[in-house]
Structure 1
Amino acid sequence: MSASGRGLSDLRSIIGDESYNRLMAIRNSRLHSFLAWVISVCEPASVFVSTGSPEDNDYIRRKAIESGEEIPLRLKGHTIHFDSPLDQARARDDTAILLPNNQKLPFIRTKDRDEGIKEMLTLLKGIMRGREMLVGFYSLGPKASPFSILAVQVTDSYYVMHSENILYRQAYDEFIRQGEEARFLKFIHSQGELNEMKQSKNIKQRRIFIDLTDETVYSVNTQYGGNSIGLKKLALRLTIKRAMEEGWLSEHMFLIGVNGPGGRVTYFTGAFPSMSGKTSTAMLGRLIGDDLAYLRIINGEVRAVNPEAGVFGIIEGINPVDDPLIYEVLSKPGELIFSNVLMLENGDVYWNGKGEPEPSSGINYTGKWWRGKVDDKGNPIPPSHPNARFTVSLKAFSNLDPAYDDPKGVVVKGIIFGGRDSDTLVPLLESFNWEHGVVTIAASLESERTAAVIGKAGEREFNPMANLDFLSVDLGVYISNYLRFGKEASNPPKIFGVNYFLRDEQGRFLNSKEDKKVWLAWMERRVHGELDVVETPIGLIPRYNDLKGLFREVLGKEYSLENYEKQFAVRVSKLIEKIDRIMKIYSEIPTTPKILFNILSEQRQRLLEAEGKYGNVISPSVFEKN
């Protein structure tokens, strides 16, 4: 970032007196220099500085509708936004981490920093001419908290700032309080030229660059939230690097409280790749967050907060039977943005899997839609996009935990990792210890693709900690930080692996959707030492009698020994195949800690010894008897 040579006082005629005075109330020279530079580059017609007041928030909501970026719906507070048909998901090929001297990182798309900034400045030059620039101030995590990270968002999209105002804690007052001491992340976004539907038009010039050196994200010619809402997954790249430097964890995890016996509440985080049950699991507990978590060691305890204050959730398949809590939120008045669903003539909305008959016509992200409409390649266009979303405050959820905004965070007793696996892993597993869990569960996480994910359905995608897409640091170093983090805690959380997608030889699921309630109940009791376990070569599994009792208590149904035997069988050859896949990947990463190979090799040897005694598919009862 080069200096423009102009200060805010030189740009006062553009900024306007009111916004200028608001900026001057923040005594931070770095902020002033940054904003002066952005204004000089983007050349807006005017600038609106939001303080987060009700009046300022109302202004953003009103302008989102007046500009056509959002359309009001029948229910009060509900609006809808449409992204371009070519801008419906995270743009992996257009996103890059900027590193000096053209450095490279495994699994991560990188770009030379000087080259990337030069390209971005060319795209940003004058891009806001004739428009209003919006400046918002936010805190990732509760304000005035050890977890809090301040951020400033600059955008020319009222939809983006409206979304930020729902999803994050507004923190203009914190910038004033901290003054020159404030350290903050910086986000610059422009939706670029728009078409008649108010969608970003120049998708071929879409670029999302993350500059780790200056803790700045640039995003241009895109509106989709994952590319444009800076504080979401774009900020995650920046906070992962900061966490590495400072010895904490910034993770792609939900954060929930699980009810235990006698009114006890125990807190868990959980990381799951897409389509693996993350949201459905989060909604079974007392909700603090559905997507992101910061974990720090405070007085020896692992504590966590949700950096967000809202939900930017996938809406496809949400229906009143399977997702009653979310469906209730989507069906009542209140501030809520739908994106890329079908808008009906009466102002209602429809999405795929809503549990209602499909309408015959409406308006969606492609414009006018009718049943049977196809794209230019002849492919059917569904009423709503598979990645259609809803944006809403956490306060809209009836299961919100009272501690969701506690500046001290909550004590985390367990961390859950889950993937989509049809033929290898048991439904529920506890690691032997922190290192074993980090290596064999978290760092070895894989998930099978579905038809909704690009690629061949059924292929296993390597996704350690469900965070690979968002890493901004070397994977081997990231794992070393994980291992060190657990060692520094007085009593690190237990690590669990879950798999909701195990199938039998006929392709039938071995568990029902509701069984995850039992798995959560078992994990809650385990972290308090109230249940014994069965030791297997891959970790600790539940005893049959304990699960039988929990199925009766939690679901009111019987759980047969036959089901237990099928579900918790140790599938030796499949498990060894997985270990070999994982070891091959890490053998090509020079920074991988040696302990990872040691732990995987030891597990492989245990499996081979068990196979020699009991065969290839081993009943869990064998280990229980031993």
Structure 2
Amino acid sequence: MTQQGEEDDMVYEVHEIVVQKLGHVPILKGDFHYLPKHVQKFVAFYAQKCTPRAIYICDGSHEEAEEITHKLIERGTLTKLKKYENCYICRTDPADVARVEARTWIATDDKYETVPHVRQGVKGILGQWKETNEMKKEVDELFSGCMAGRTMYVIPFSMGPVGGPLSKIGVQLTDSNYVLLCMRIMTRVSHDIWSVLGNNEFVKCLHTMGCPRPVQRKVINHWPCNPEKIIITHFPNERLICSFGSGYGGNSLLGKKCFALRIASVIARDEGWLAEHMLIMGLTNTKTGKETFIAAAFPSACGKTNLAMIKPTIPGYEIRVVGKYFIETLFTYNKHMGITSWLGKRWKRDSPTPAAHPNSRFCAPASQCPIIHPKWEDAEGVPISAIIFGGRRPTGVPLVFETFSWDHGVMVGACVKSESTAAAEFKGKKIMHDPMAMRPFMGYNFGKYLQHWLDMDQPGRKLPKIFHVNWFRVDENGKFLWPGFGDNIRVLDWIIRRCEGDKSIAVESPIGYLPKKGSINLDGLGEINWDELFSLPKHYWEDDTRESRRFLEDQVGCDVPQIIWDHLKSQEQKIQAMK
């Protein structure tokens, strides 16, 4: 019998006990019998393991949210913001404020199902692996009794409109009612999910703050956590996620990075689609009424949010966002009064500590976004015409180029990187590789992931065109060559025209199709150094291509599809032939 089979038998036995003796773990809300049988087994198994004092089956209703909000206010976890309607601030334990990649794992039987064959002596950065049984033993020890004295919340949620043909369902168990409030905003939590789910597969999500009562660690800011023992682990073959010790968003809202990217990328591989870390936006030509949908993938601090919320500086386009999460926190500063910092202390400009933590964020319903697209909840989705990769590249990389083909675009995506300069003089740089903007979120071997992208190119399919942008190129004095922000609409306009088949606005180069001089609208921008903005310094590109090859050899090794090597070789030859 497989281990999974043994677990199923154990779950069944526990289920029988819970059903017959509901007093063993009282149900504070909801009807346990209404849950599909395989969900009952999941809940019952972990109720026995985590030993909560009670179970609360969530329905996602407004009344439920009001009840939980009031409890958190009474406890001191939430504080109402007087100047804003229905807004609250939550201050965490300062030790629990970030996603922890070093403690994030993927568990499979075969190591190379999860991670690529890295070069000997090189530390891999494309995921961390542990053997399934070893990880299950670790999880079992951590989670035994982890919810003692607390309530286990059962949260049914849908990634996508409930019942939609593209949607996926998850059930999260957690001892944090703060997590419930956030999951209502980040996903669709609804009682209707039980009837939609039926006997179908769901992603099993287990989360605990790791602070059973009586607590052994001092609770700071009414924020229970166990930062010394944080672990986030994924069992993709069982569609199971287990998260211990943290209440921080990406660690505790398991529909987010864990499900929507790591587990979903595996589901996508198995079912023949793509689950990616991208924004989606719609651009409507106000003269023709034609709308084009674009997806974009950038590493952190490279302009995803700015692009999603772009305010065009030229007429002719209406922008609406289909999907993007926002992680900014805004403060209004009064020089006489100062502000209250994220630590709850008075803060003034001369304070030695920052007012906000770098990961401070807000969680608000997408429906409240002023430019949300009417189709953001369309169960059929929207057709993507272009995929845009990009990074922060101070030198060498042009403002925009189009890849030669789909597989060439996969190569470009695999080589996405950002450069942070070592000094204002730009004498040095630090390169951060973030292939496909998915580096922290890979659910399986990155080489196999690249092959899956390549396999999407099938006869009869119309695939999006792939582009690369760089808003951050500077001149020799460190001044940006491109204004960015709302003026990026000028680049998007060129991309849309290329998607519509305009061949007259591009010229071929060693790295892809560049805009033909004058084909981007520069009206009102003043002096723009077109030649420098689109130049391809030979030595830079020789070094860059060599560095990309080294990265793939070190981090992906024999798992790199041959066609990726072929495109890199072709690019090297074209660059060497440059004058």
Give the TM-score taking structure 2 as reference length.
Answer: 0.87
Q: Give the drift of 1:369.
A: 4.6
Q: Which of 230, 243, 250 matches 2:268?
A: 243
Does the alignment pair 1:268 with 2:294?
yes
Note if contact 2:30-2:58 (Cα within 8 Å) is conserved in structure 1.
Answer: no
Preserved CA contact (<8 Å) 2:417 2:432? yes
**How far apart in 1 are the matches of 2:428 and 2:180?**
36
1:227 aligned partner, one-letter code:
N
- Contact 1:102–1:112 under 8 Å retained in 2: yes
Q: 1:604 maps to which residue?
A: 572
- Structure-2 separation of matches of 1:252 and 1:436: 20
Measured at CA, do residues 590 and 197 of structure 1 come closer, stay the same or move farther in structure 2, by a change above 3 Å?
Answer: same
Q: What is the aligned-residue RMSD (CA, Å)?
A: 2.3
Q: List aligned pairs for 1:306-321, cutoff 5 A.
A: 311=325, 313-315=326-328
Aligned to 2:443: 472
2:498 aligned residue: 526
State the one-letter code of the partner of 2:540.
Answer: K
Q: Structure 1 residues 268, 489: CA separation in 2 closer, same or farther (over 3 Å shift)?
A: farther
CA distance in 2, matches of 1:163, 1:102: 34
Q: In the alignment, is residue 537 of structure 1 matched against residue 518 of structure 2?
A: no
TM-superposed deviation, 1:102: 5.6
Q: CA deviation at 1:142?
A: 2.1
Quick one: which of 192, 195, 208 aligns to 1:173?
192
Is the contact between residue 163 and residue 229 of structure 1 (CA under 8 Å) also seen in structure 2?
Answer: yes
2: CA distance, partners of 1:144 / 1:450: 48
Question: Does the 8 A contact of 2:396 with 2:535 survive in 1?
Answer: no
| Native 8 Å contact 2:59 2:191 kept in 1 | yes
Query: Which deviates more from structure 2 when the two are superposed, residues 481-490 or residues 10-19?
Result: 10-19
Per the alignment, residue 222 of structure 1 pairs with: 246
Deviation at 1:54, TM superposition (A): 2.4
- Asked if 1:84 corresponds to 2:55, the answer is no
CA apart distance, 1:412: 0.5
Q: Larger deviation: 106-115 or 518-527?
A: 106-115
Q: Which residue number corresponds to residue 108 of structure 1?
A: 127
Residues 372 and 381 of structure 1 are in contact (CA less than 8 Å); yes or no, is this contact kept in structure 2? no
Report 1:457-496 matches (<5 A). 458-487=429-458, 490-496=461-467
Relative to structure 1, the CA distance from residue 173 to residue 488 in structure 2 (aligned partners, 3 Å threshold; closer, same or farther) is farther
Amino acid across the alignment from 2:340: G
Gaps of at least 5 residues in structure 1 are 291-310, 319-349, 375-379, 612-626
User: Any conservation in 2 of the 1:138–1:169 contact (CA below 8 Å)?
Assistant: yes
Report the Cα offset of residue 184 of structure 1: 0.5
CA distance in 2, matches of 1:11, 1:603: 68
SS at match of 1:183: coil
Q: Could you list the per-position Cα deviations for residues 496-525 of structure 1 after superposition, in whole angstroms to 9, with x for gaps in the alignment?
A: 100011011111111112331211121122
What is the DSSP-based 3-state SS (H/G/I as helix, E as strand, rest coil) of the residue aligned with 2:558?
coil
Shift of 1:361: 5.2
* CA shift for structure 1 position 190: 1.1
Question: Are the counterparts in 2 of residues 192 and 202 from structure 1 also a CA contact under 8 Å?
Answer: yes
From 151, 156, 167, the counterpart of 2:170: 151
2:202 is aligned, of 158, 163, 184, to: 184
AA at the equivalent of 2:60: G
> Structure 1, residues 379-402: CA drift from partner, whole Å, max 9, x if none?
x42011011101011111111111
CA displacement at 1:450 relative to structure 2: 7.5
User: For residue 281 of structure 2, what is the aligned residue in structure 1?
Assistant: 256
* Mapped contact 1:63–1:158 kept (Cα < 8 A): no
CA deviations over 1:350-408 (Å, ceiling 9, x no partner): 3xxx67659645252x343544898xxxxx42011011101011111111111111111
Three-state SS of the structure 1 residue aligned to 2:89 is strand
Partner of residue 366, structure 2: 394
Judge conservation of contact 2:400–2:468 (CA < 8 Å) in 1. yes
Q: Is the 8 A contact 1:64 1:162 kept in 2?
A: no
1:12 maps onto 2:38 in alignment: no
- CA shift in 2, pair 1:437/1:273, >3 Å: same
Quickly say closer, same or farther: Cα 1:593–1:358, change in 2 above 3 A.
farther
SS of corresponding position for 2:489: helix
Cα distance, 1:196 vs structure 2 = 3.7
Alpha carbons of 1:258 and 1:602: their partners in 2 closer, same or farther (altered >3 Å)?
same
2:340 paired with 1:362: yes
Q: Give the Cα separation in 2 of the matches to 1:151 and 1:358.
A: 49
Question: How far, CA to CA, are the matches of 1:67 and 1:488 in structure 2?
Answer: 59
- Specify the alignment match of 2:321 in structure 1: 287
Cα distance between partner residues in 2 of 1:16 and 1:254: 42
The one-character-per-residue Cα deviations of 1:247-270 (angstroms, maximum 9, x if unpaired) are: 110000001101224222100100
The unaligned stretches of length 5 or more in structure 2 are 117-125, 212-217, 311-318
| Larger deviation, residues 423-432 vs 55-64 | 55-64
- Whether the aligned pair in 1 keeps the contact of 2:280 and 2:296 (CA below 8 Å) is yes
1:234 aligns with 2:258: yes
Residue identity matched to 1:425? V
Instruction: In structure 2, give the amino acid aligned to 1:585.
Output: F
- 3-state SS in 1 of match to 2:364: strand
Alignment-derived partner of residue 546 in structure 1: 519
Whether the 8 Å CA contact 1:448–1:457 is kept in 2: the answer is no
1:272, CA displacement in angstroms?
0.3
From 42, 45, 67, the equivalent of 2:50 is 42
| Aligned mates of 2:403, 2:490 — CA distance in 1 | 18
1:59 pairs with one of 56, 67, 73: 67
Deviation (angstroms), 1:79: 0.7
Q: Which amino acid aligns with 1:63?
A: K
Q: Relative to 1, partners in 2 of residues 1:11 and 1:85: Cα closer, same or farther, differing over 3 Å?
A: farther
Q: Partners in 2 of 1:356 and 1:608 — Cα distance?
A: 57
How many pairs were matched up?
Answer: 534
Aligned residue type for 1:170:
V
Relative distance call for 1:457 and 1:577 in structure 2 (3 A) is closer
Matched residue, 1:341:
none
Instruction: Give the match's secondary structure for 1:570.
Output: coil
Distance, in Å, in 1 between the alignment partners of 2:389 and 2:451 is: 18
What displacement does 1:422 show? Answer: 0.6
CA distance in 1, matches of 2:151, 2:232: 21
Deviation at 1:563, TM superposition (A): 1.3
Asked whether the 8 Å contact 1:258–1:521 carries over to 2, the reply is: no
| Residue 379 (structure 2) aligns with | 407
Describe the superposition over 1:433-479 as per-residue Cα deviations: whole angstroms up to 9, x where unpaired: 1111111x21110112479xxxx994111111000111021111101
Equivalences for residues 301-450 of structure 1 within 5 A: 311=325, 313-315=326-328, 350=331, 357=335, 360=338, 362-364=340-342, 366-371=343-348, 380-439=352-411, 441-449=412-420
Secondary structure of the residue that 2:545 maps to in structure 1? helix
| TM-score w.r.t. length of structure 1 | 0.81
Q: 2-side partners of 1:538 and 1:355: how far apart?
A: 46
Q: Which residue of 1 aligns with 2:313?
A: none
Q: Distance in 2 between matches of 1:66 and 1:192?
A: 22
2:418 alignment partner AA: S
Matching of residue 506 in structure 1 with residue 477 in structure 2: yes
Change in 2 beyond 3 A, CA 1:362/1:11: farther
1:245–1:473 CA distance, 2 compared to 1 (3 A): same
Q: Which stretch of structure 1 is more off in the superposition, 103-112 or 215-224?
A: 103-112
**Residue type of the alignment partner of 1:283:** M
> 1:578: which partner in 2?
544
How much does 1:483 deviate? 1.1
Indicate the SS of the match to 1:80: strand
Report the Cα distance in structure 2 between the residues aligned to 1:596 and 1:535, rounded to whole angstroms.
20
Q: Which moved more, 1:425-434 or 1:140-149?
A: 140-149
The 1:18–1:389 alpha-carbon spacing in structure 2 relative to 1, beyond 3 Å, is closer
CA distance in 1, matches of 2:408, 2:111: 35
Q: Does residue 592 of structure 1 match 2:560?
A: yes
Is contact 1:88-1:387 (8 Å) kept?
yes
In structure 1, C-alpha distance between the alignment counterparts of 2:47 and 2:21, rounded to whole Å = 8
Measured in 1, the distance between the counterparts of 2:59 and 2:419 equals: 45
More displaced stretch, 102-111 vs 392-401: 102-111
